[in-house]
Structure 1
Amino acid sequence: MVDAWSQLGGTIHNTPLVTSNTTNLRTDREVYFKMENQQKTGAFKFRGASYKLMKLSALELSKGVLTASAGNHAQGVALAASKLGAAATIFMSESTPTNKVEATRGYGAEVILVGESFQEAYEASLEHQKKTGATYVHPFDDYDIMAGQGTIAFEMLAQQPDLDTLIVPIGGGGLISGIAVAAKSINPDIRVIGVQAERAPSIFKAYHEGQVERLKTVTTIAEGIAVKEPGQLTLPIINKYVDDVICVSEPEIADAMIYFLERSKTLVEGAGAAALACLLSHHDVIDSDKTGVVVSGGNIDISKMPDIQSLAKELRVEAGLPKRELVKNQH
């Protein structure tokens, strides 16, 4: 993890950690947003992809790199590969927002669209790897990828050493695994809370119920965290180091996206707003004085904004309903 931090220093942006008085008053604590939507390629994924490719040999790079992605990992790999002169092939689902597909191609990668979700694209990419021998760069189930993402925690705790809780979105678990290990190496008492979309709760189920299963569908506005099954490497780390995993609804995610736009004049994607959605909806059961919120990405499909506004209105109409109880970590 420390090696990743030293290696990436001149490659990635040290993104801002910002606070909002409105959010502080609403949640009765100091809230600090880690703005990874301002990272190169518009998301945190460039960290892990860059470190992973830095660790590859010249021979591995010469074979070209291959991956599957919901969108942001694709851009991270494409840009990292272009900087190292390696060819990149990316499998993405047919439902991937056009802006993410075009941005990936813009960084010089070949994009192949397959299936309805990340899982189908991932399986197709593995078949392609068997045929081509390209070097595979997994989007989350890889220790170097996790180490690269974990540099976010090093930055956050350097920028605000007194953070007592970090709230982090979860798809396959690479981001939260890296952050949890890094953060607890600095402060063993810090709490790390993961957030999934209710419509893609694979790690939530595995964490709380011990059910490791492949979900049939994962249709959510937070497509960046729409993963059907937990990573084999990430899940044990999450079980060991993460203090809680909770789910947020589609209206809660949409409301957080609109909140960012209205209050901070910041455009974030669904996955990027998931951690804030958790804080806004569950702050009354999250014991924290200084909370760090990871804003993981900002690569949103603008054409979806009317749908997001409609979803957000649903939550605001139902604002008087009681909160769901937050299940406490029993690990």
Structure 2
Amino acid sequence: MTLSTYLLKLMATRILTALLVLVGILQILDLLDVTTDILDRDLGAAGVGYYALLRLPRLIEQAAPLAVLAGSLFAFGKLASDSAVTAMRSTGISAYRVTLMAIPAALAIALAQLAIGMVIAPNTDARLGVWWQASTPKDPAKIVDPVTFRVGDEIVVAVPRDPDGSGLEKVTIYRRDQAGRLVQRTTAQAAIYENGQWRLIEPRFETLGATNISESGARSQTWTENLTPGDIRTLAMGETSVTPAEASRALAGGLSVRPRTFYDTQVQRAWAAPIACMVMMLLAAPAALANFRGGGATLIIQCLAAGLLFLVFDGAFTALGENGAAPPILAAWAAPAIFSALAVTVLLYLEG
């Protein structure tokens, strides 16, 4: 077995072990919160298992950066405690090369996280939403609250009518011009999704002119193609997560309920989030140079603290971008860039 193979195997096993532990903990906490609801719906143990399976991709995505940090610290710490790095440096193998040989393990997790965030998790989230909505007990006396959202330049207030999201009732549409001024209000008894587009039933139009308001009506009218039944289901269930595809569609005139900066930041975050795995690997790399005879455990604790601090800064920058206080590209990429530079600087200093 070559040195690079040994290092890669050591790193991969430690990271995967940490990932399994973290995902297991998150899964248990998640199930503790929803198992009672699942059993109350008479879905049984099969329902609990199905829910856990559909939630698994999101939990893996959430746990991946911390798993890389923990696994890397365990792996580099083992190398340091066994004096393996000292032996390798005596043969001319630097700490930089040791880090480079270990990076493919973090890269594999990062690519897996990217695939989960872009493709797998959005599909499982949609299936989970449909399944959860279909199993919700019907209560005829329950009052369904209206939802408010934007489609392009239009602000819409409506009441979801059908569980599958294909119908709205008590629809009010406020249409604005490019300057954001109200130019028309449309009310309709209902809106139905048919053949890939929405159709308003008996709409009434109130158009604001310079000095008067004109009124008109129709039996039906085609409305928009930028809204899907899945969007309505998401609104009705109060879901707060936004997939990269949904964020891109919101920027292109689709459903949106938050400021444009929020969706700009989410698009950038979709690509920046997997980079966190690489950053965690770099932050853990100095642990390979720890000297356990001279208080080397302190260095490992400092690496752990740096990784946790990175998550705090990353979340803070993201919040600033979502609220428009920072440019989206800066909000998504600033923390990875800063902490990567910090990790490389520390490694250079320790290597001498």
TM-score, with normalisation over the residues of structure 2? 0.25
Q: Which has the higher helix share?
A: 2
Higher RCO (Cα < 8 Å, 6 or more apart)? 1
TM-score, with normalisation over the residues of structure 1? 0.26
